[in-house]
Amino acid sequence: MALLNILHFPDPKLRTVAKPVTVFDPELRQLVRDMFETMYEAPGIGLAATQVDRHIRLLVMDVSDQSNHPRCLINPEIVEADGEEETDEGCLSVPGFYEKVRRAEHIRVRAQNDFGETIEFEAEGLEGVCVQHEMDHLDGKLFVDYLSSLKRNRIRSKLVKQMKQKDFD
Ligand code: GNR
Ligand code: NI
């Protein structure tokens, strides 16, 4: 097992569009395990491969209170979406900032599991938000992209300042 390094905004690597997974082998399942370990340790409710600098269409999540419902989605697609809702979102790649984002209220998701089997399910509430947030990462998109450029640039400056400060510590 291994903890993976999480990239932070405005790292340009977070803008990479991830490629579909075609090989479902033990190496892939090892990455899935490492991503779960990294997500739980952070702690977070989701983690996309993009955030750990692996540019394949893979995400892990667990929105349960007790962190006992791990779910891994590979090559996920949203096949139906209804309604709109606004939720406060945060991101492990934008640490310390929380802002309202408008997303579909109810989605139907099709994906593969880590053995390549197709799975399909419906999601709403925090689970629905999390799937949409993680799928954005796979397309190089961050929740701050939905904010005004003024807010986004303020967040960018604060994070850049924090990172420079860390270099001195
Ligand atoms: O841990 C996380 N919490 C969260 C809260 C509201 C909306 C989305 C999220 S996802 C985030 C983890 C993360 O950054 N995943 O990409
Ligand atoms: Ni995120």
Residue among 89, 99, 127, 134 flagged as catalytic? 134
Mean pLDDT (whole number) for 98-117: 98
Predicted local confidence at residue 168, as pLDDT: 85
Residues with CB under 6 A from ligand 1: 44-48, 51, 89-93, 129-130, 133-134, 137
- The tens digit of pLDDT for each residue in 14-62 reads 999 999 999 999 999 999 999 999 999 999 999 999 999 999 999 999 9
Mean pLDDT (whole number) for 160-168: 90
- The tens digit of pLDDT for each residue in 124-133 reads 999 999 999 9
- Is the pLDDT at 167 greater than 90? The verdict is no
- Is the pLDDT at 154 greater than 90? The verdict is yes
Those residues with Cβ within 8 angstroms of residue 62's Cβ, 6 or more apart along the chain or in another chain: 36, 39, 40, 45, 46, 68, 69, 70, 71
Q: Residues 49, 54, 58, 60: what is their CA dihedral angle, to the nearest 10 degrees?
A: -30
| Average pLDDT in the chain | 97
Distance CA 31, CA 112 (A): 15
Band (160; pLDDT cuts 50, 70, 90): very high
Predicted local confidence at residue 94, as pLDDT: 98
Mutation pick for ligand 1 pocket among 61, 92, 103 (CB with most ligand atoms within 8 Å): 92
Predicted local confidence at residue 25, as pLDDT: 98
